[in-house]
Amino acid sequence: MTNHPELWQFRFSMYPEKARWALDYKRVPHVRHSVLPGPHAMQLLPRFGQKAMPVLRHAGRVLKNSAEVLDYVEQTWPEPPLYPADPVQRERALGIQQWFDDEIGPATRLACFHEVLPDTEYTARRFATGMAEWQQKLYVRAFPGVRAVMRLDMKIDAASAEAGLVRTREALDFVARESARTGYLVGDRFSIADLTAATVLFPTCLPPEYPVAVPEPRSAGWQRWLERWQNHAGCDYVRRIYRERRGESAAVAD
């Protein structure tokens, strides 16, 4: 049994990326268990009683959402810090995290999926990044069924996607405005607020430092989605935070 933290994740997903980034930023050696959207339910439900990810298991603890994971990581490996030392700034940073986690993330994900899920092979292969070629081919074949379940579970339709676009633009406006003075959302240094915002908004611009490649030529849905945001100042913020702060993986197995 490993003593390293174990992270259950999708490779291409905002909330697992949030947990990965925190572990990588603090250079915490960890083991990643990567699963496929759809089939993952059969693997996670018996273990953890849920199908949402990320899940982190370490030292007898099981943390079942990204905010819990980051709080545990911050308390267990405090350096370099992600929480501001100043209590007022810390409260502000945690409030921004909660807003992105609870309101912006689901809306952005829904709007993005509405645009890209129809692109069966391209999107399925992004979700299956890192799997063997035979697994990717099987997943592409199964993806129409996976897509149908995702649409039902997440209530993805034209109206909800339009609402998601509004929230996504609101969030991009927010990060552009709030980072204008210091480059960061809270105070003058990188914090959990920046990590969360950049992670949740990564689908709008796909920074090259994101751990999953989204190669060109991109499918039509992906291209439309990215062109919608490409000139927004909020995307400049996301790209800069990824470029300056994302760093390399600290995983010892994936």
CATH topology of domain 6-82: Glutaredoxin (3.40.30)
Taking residue 222's Cβ as centre, other Cβ atoms within 10 Å add up to 21
Report residue 106 CA to chain centroid gap.
Answer: 11
pTM over 0.85: yes
pLDDT, residue 2, reads 61
Q: Which residues are paired to 34 by β-bridges?
A: 9
What SS3 class is residue 9?
A: strand
Domain 87-245 has CATH 1.20.1050.10: yes
Domain map (residue ranges) of the chain: 6-82, 87-245
Domains 6-82 and 87-245 share a fold: no
pLDDT, residue 50, reads 79
Q: Which residues contact 225 (CB under 8 A, 6 or more apart)?
A: 112, 115, 116, 203
pLDDT, residue 95, reads 99
pLDDT, residue 1, reads 44
Residue ranges in the chain whose pLDDT is less than 70: 1-2
